[in-house]
Chain A
Amino acid sequence: MKRPSVLALAVVVLAAGCSAPGADEKSTGDGTGPIKIALVDAQSGQLSSLGAWELKGARLAVDEWNAAGGINGRQVQLDVFDDQGDPTTGTNLARKIDSEGYLAMIGTAESAVTIAMAPILKQAEIPNITSGQSPGLVAVGSEFLFLNGPTSTTYDETLAEHIVDKQGIKSIAMITNNGSYGKGEHDAFLKALQARSVTPVADQVVTTDQKDFSAVLTGIRQKNPKVIFLGAEEVESGLIVKQARDLGITATFAGAAPQGTPVFLDTAGVANAEGTIVSSPYLGNDVSDASKKFAAAYKTKFNEEAELHGAKAYDGTQIMLTALKTSNVATGKALADAIRATKYQGLLGSFAFDQTGVGIFATSIGTIKGGKLVAAAG
């Protein structure tokens, strides 16, 4: 996938080069045309399923607002940019959305890309609501960066509490990847275990595009853990589970958001994923009236079942649009402050942002039963 991205990069660089650096023409800020919001997400490459879900969630929210008359009589224009899940492409896109006068950005779904884009967006004063969950996002310390869900710390603390404290399981192995998401999960889960004086029986790191896990899994099989924690994206986690079952590993798997998605289930195989413990702020479409309404609208519009990532992007976009309305279509710092002040009852729970840009601090535990994610008993 290197060649297409090189070409796309060249195009983006050329496009970005056309405007003088730092030339801020946020004409839409006080003008009368449509309110321009950029959605930056992987629309191609291995992480494109995340980008596709996120686009659907954001599109649904924007269309609802536009159908209701937009903001102050102005329509909201959501433009899509493909970052290919690649940080370099992302930084070029950050300059592009700055030079093209976008007020705000939704995305990305990939922590590494968002972290790479954050300094440019901070300098350009473009508020950004990301779907990433790496604690690294908070470490960036940008007052223009907001998360539409909990960080890995929250996911993994809840998970460790369930596995260690409630179920009393101490024999735990970890497999995480060396990407931004996996690294965040590794550190957060390990910290949660250490706080409970539990040492994992194995702590294996894989690369993000590894395909064969025989060596890692055979090593883990000899340790015979009860639970294997996964800190990797959907497809890779699915492959690990599939290969683990082929190697005769019967341990239960556990993880955060990716392990509750249909892509994970399809890749792993429904029977192989049975019993997987998932820490997620959105366990399913039947949790509340709001989620039922969202899922129905999603199904009507896109003819597929809604899931976590779409719900997160929907929440994030709703918050962004609400802040735009309450601030009377402010830009830059004023818009960021308006987002921070927004209290929003969303699909994931009640959002109340703190100084770090995190708005929600709870997840629930679910398990996969018969190919469906259901709330765990107890």
Chain B
Amino acid sequence: MQVFLQTIIGGVSLGAVYALVALGFSLVYRTMGLVNFAHGNVVTVGAYLASTLYLTSELPFALAMPIAIVLTGAIGLVIERVLRPLENRDFDLMLIGTIGFGIVLDALVIAIWGATGRAVPSPVPSPPLDVFGLRIRTYDLVVLAIAAAATILLVLFLSRTKRGAAMQAVAMDHEAATAIGIHVGRSNAIAFMIGGGLAALAGGLVGPLLYVSPALGGALGIKGFAAAILGGFGSIPGAIVGGLAIGILDAFTAGHFQGYSELVTFVVFTVIIMIRPTGVFGERTVNRA
């Protein structure tokens, strides 16, 4: 029982990070119908920016994170601006464009920070909590709280603000949205910017849990993408559920199947997707790609 609960706790904290990565994928997808293949690399950039501000510039973590989020959001804007001429012209080229951006970002990260990577000490130095023999890292609680707060803010933005509602409208029917005067390009830009910010949030939060290296985003990107698909690509609650599900699934397969855990995780994932191709919260309306 203890192993069971401890495994869930371990899976949830990484699952929250996968959920944030999945949110970034889903937000861009629901707005533009585009899979942003550079998203994983944007996570790496965010992780490096956050860790550099935190370690090298010695800013407090709580200050380093927002700056990294803003800077990475700006990178999202750049990606969207470069791809904008292709919008509604050639969708395949746009997809390939995001792949190209991923490679460029990857190379930039190695050029700027080197290939070696760095360890980030936990910004919350207090020892883990001991609850009935279960050990809960205080930093994990911080990660969960921030991820939850970010999700709530995102949902509020999409449902309560005019700009958010406009983005929803673009997601539902972008031609009708254009007809009533919604600036589709601006909606897309905001989606990319928020996606970048979420990537930086995920990367910055995961830094102290893992090790910041150029390979970081690749691993998180694949799991985050799987999480988005599992939850229902384009769905906000789906991204959260999918992220946590992948995190917990991963933790359990690691315990039971050891060296074959990765294989089992993705076999289970494939079976679920075969049974429910739209994912848990699949929204068919965004499926215009």
| Chain A interfacial positions (CB closer than 8 Å to B) | 1-4, 7, 42-46, 48-49, 51-52, 177-178, 204-207, 209-216, 218-219, 222, 235, 238-239, 243, 246-248, 263, 266-267, 269
Contact = CB atoms under 8 A, between A and B. Distances in A.
Contacts of A51: 115
Given A48-B213, A235-B117, A215 B219 contact: no
Given A3-B99, A4-B103, A210 B117 contact: no
A211 B99 contact: no
B116 interface: yes
A209 B251 contact: no
A43 B117 CA distance: 11
Interface residues of B, number: 47
Interface string B80-121: 000000000000000000010011001100100011111101
B218 interface: yes
A300 B261 CA distance: 45
21 contacts: A1-B219, A3-B102, A4-B103, A44-B115, A44-B215, A46-B117, A206-B258, A206-B259, A207-B261, A210-B262, A213-B254, A214-B255, A215-B254, A215-B255, A216-B255, A218-B2, A219-B255, A235-B211, A247-B128, A266-B119, A269-B121
Contact of B110 (A44, A177, A211, A213): A44
Given A205-B258, A214-B7, A218-B6, A48 B116 contact: yes
B115 A3 contact: no
A210 B116 contact: no
Contacts of A235: 117, 211, 213
A51 B261 CA distance: 28
Contacts of B209: 211
B2 A204 contact: no
B213 A210 contact: no
B255 A211 contact: no
A12 B115 CA distance: 20
Nearest to B2: A218
Most buried by B among A177, A211, A218, A267: A211
B211 A222 contact: no
A241 to B, nearest CB: 11
A42 B116 CA distance: 10
B259 A205 contact: yes
9 closest Cβ pairs, A-B complex: A214-B10, A215-B255, A48-B115, A178-B259, A1-B218, A266-B119, A205-B259, A205-B258, A218-B6
A235 B214 CA distance: 13
A43 B6 CA distance: 37
A215 B118 CA distance: 26
Nearest to A5: B218
A328 B165 CA distance: 77
Given A178-B259, A212-B251, A266-B119, A218 B213 contact: no
Contacts of A263: 116-117, 119
Interface of B: 2-3, 6-7, 9-11, 13-14, 37, 99, 102-103, 106-107, 110, 114-119, 121, 128, 130, 135, 137, 209-211, 213-215, 218-219, 222, 247, 250-252, 254-256, 258-259, 261-262
Contacts of A218: 2-3, 6-7
Contacts of B107: 4
Contacts of A216: 254-255, 258
A206 B259 CA distance: 5
Contacts of B9: 214
Nearest to A267: B119
Contact of A49 (B102, B115, B251, B254): B115
A246 B103 contact: no
A51 to B, nearest CB: 7
Given A3-B102, A44-B106, 18 more contacts: A4-B102, A43-B110, A43-B115, A44-B214, A51-B115, A52-B114, A204-B258, A206-B258, A213-B10, A214-B6, A214-B255, A215-B6, A215-B10, A215-B255, A238-B119, A246-B135, A246-B137, A248-B130
B11 A52 contact: no
Given A206-B259, A210-B254, A48 B118 contact: no
A311 to B, nearest CB: 17
A206 B254 CA distance: 7
A17 to B, nearest CB: 22
Contacts of B103: 3-4, 7
A375 B2 CA distance: 39
A326 B250 CA distance: 55
Most buried by B among A42, A46, A213, A239: A46
A52 B103 CA distance: 21
Contacts of A206: 254, 258-259, 261
A48 B252 contact: no
Contacts of A219: 3, 255
Contacts of A239: 210-211
B106 to A, nearest CB: 5
Contacts of A222: 2-3
Contacts of A269: 119, 121
Contacts of B218: 1-2
Contacts of B114: 52
B217 to A, nearest CB: 8
A255 to B, nearest CB: 17
Given A239-B210, A246-B128, A246-B137, A1 B119 contact: no
